[in-house]
Amino acid sequence: MAKIIPFKAVRPTRDKVSLVAARSYQSYTKEQLESRLRDNPFSFLHIVNPGYRFDKEITGIERYSLVKNRYLEFKEENIFVQDDKPSYYVYKIVDRENQEFNGIIAATSALDYENDVIRKHEDTIEQREIIFKDYLKTVGFNAEPVLLTYPDNAVIKGIISKKQKERSEYEFTTTYRDTHYLWRVEKPELLEAIEKEFKNMSHIYIADGHHRTVSAYLLYQDLKAANPNHNSTEPYNFFMSYLIPESDLRIHEFNRLIKDLNGFSKEAFLIELDTLYRIENRGTIPYKPLQKHHFSMYLDGEFYSLYLRKSAVDMATSLDGLDAQILYKTILEPILGIQDLRNEDRIVYMSGKKDIVNIKSNVDSGKFAVGFGMVPVTIQEMKQIADDGFKMPPKSTFIEPKLRSGVTIYEF
């Protein structure tokens, strides 16, 4: 039984939302970040990069405190205002490829995460969990929703469709050519109907934002332990999510880049691979796999196709058959010596939405010795692994839509 509740979002005024909304700051190049901070005083990037004002890089608790200060300044200047009534928020994104994503922004329960009602499918990196938990504890708000998915539901779809016939609170297009729309849902009968439909769902699933979810849960644990009058209704019992139906998800793979061959020469490495894979040298022609258990590899200026031998892996569980797990168990761990995917700095992950030649350019730069590509995970695989209680290796999925920070904010 999934619990969601409406909340009083802190939001930019209609005239400034397009200026405030920002991608995650890690997704900007240094030049892009500098340009936006210099030319747009309303960007949410000013809040999460408070050192810009002082022409200084600031980290740790000092940075978190300054983030909170910048946020309070945006509220004092009425760039952000808070809604007067708890609401759900119908949110629609139409991307540059004309794909639509329709869902509801709500506050979801940290206890549901603890009780496995909100199911996770991917492992996380411990250091990032702790860092973001400490960040949340200091700043006191969520500014980017976790992306959750639920089974397609006719009642919720009908409410969303009907609401979208009204004039939207927001309509703005980003420089990425994605158009965003928001409608506020505040009528009691609609709030009740939406809450009821989610209560009838035994499980909902994290699609994107595992680290943010775990961090919100860790924060809930900390604040609950510190509050002798805890009653489960405090804002810290919840975190902000964007819930969309499964049919709206778009899943891409994450490719792997490895910094060295663990002491192997190229020839010795290929011999090691030959035990488990049928290897074909594709030369300089980029190769992208088209089916499960097929991998691409770029090594020393050449592409290779790797086809897993049928007898190579015992696929007794849903996790055993996952390509990211197969790559880990057959190559990354036993040959390249990468034991701890959560904390190992010899491996870097790159979104498969980028062209396969990005693997080539990264290896050719000398920063990496080898790169691997695979096919995307399906929604059925993702759910089955979560239902079976397993976790995928970190960065097994790159899921769209990608949300903007600063459009709705949840305070706790």
Residue 361: pLDDT band (50, 70, 90) is: very high
CATH topology of domain 254-375: 3.30.1760
> What is the crossing angle of helices 154-163 and 188-199, to 10°?
150
Are the C-beta atoms of residues 351 and 254 closer than 8 Å to each other? yes
* Percent of the chain residues topping a pLDDT of 90: 82
Task: Please check the confidence at residue 312 and state whether its pLDDT lies above 90.
Answer: no
What is the number of H-type helices and E-type strands within the chain?
A: 13, 21
How does pLDDT run across 43-72, given as a tens digit for each residue?
Answer: 999 999 998 888 778 888 899 999 999 999
Q: Which residues are registered as beta bridge partners of 81? A: 11
Helix, strand, coil shares of the chain as percentages rounded to 5?
A: 35, 25, 40
Are the C-beta atoms of residues 141 and 75 closer than 8 Å to each other? no
Strand pairing of 238-245 and 370-373?
unpaired
> What is the crossing angle of helices 210-226 and 126-139, to 10°?
60
How does pLDDT run across 20-43, given as a tens digit for each residue?
Answer: 999 987 788 889 999 999 999 999
The residue that leads in pLDDT, 210 or 56, is 210
CA distance linking residue 195 with residue 4, whole number of Å: 6
Average pLDDT score over residue span 356-363: 91
Give the model's pLDDT for residue 263: 97
How does pLDDT run across 260-278, given as a tens digit for each residue?
Answer: 999 999 999 999 999 999 9
| Tokens encoding 75 | 């509220």
Are the C-beta atoms of residues 151 and 201 closer than 8 Å to each other? yes
Hey, is 33 helix, strand or coil?
A: helix
Of 347, 358, 356, 398, which is closest to residue 377 (Cα–Cα)? 398
* Alpha helix stretches (DSSP H) within 200-319: 210-226, 266-274
CA distance between the termini of the chain? 23
Q: Where do the domains of the chain lie?
A: 4-251+401-411, 254-375
Task: Please check the confidence at residue 125 and state whether its pLDDT lies above 80.
Answer: no
Least confident of 25-29, 201-205, 373-377: 25-29
Average pLDDT score over residue span 151-156: 97
**Residues in the chain, how many?**
412
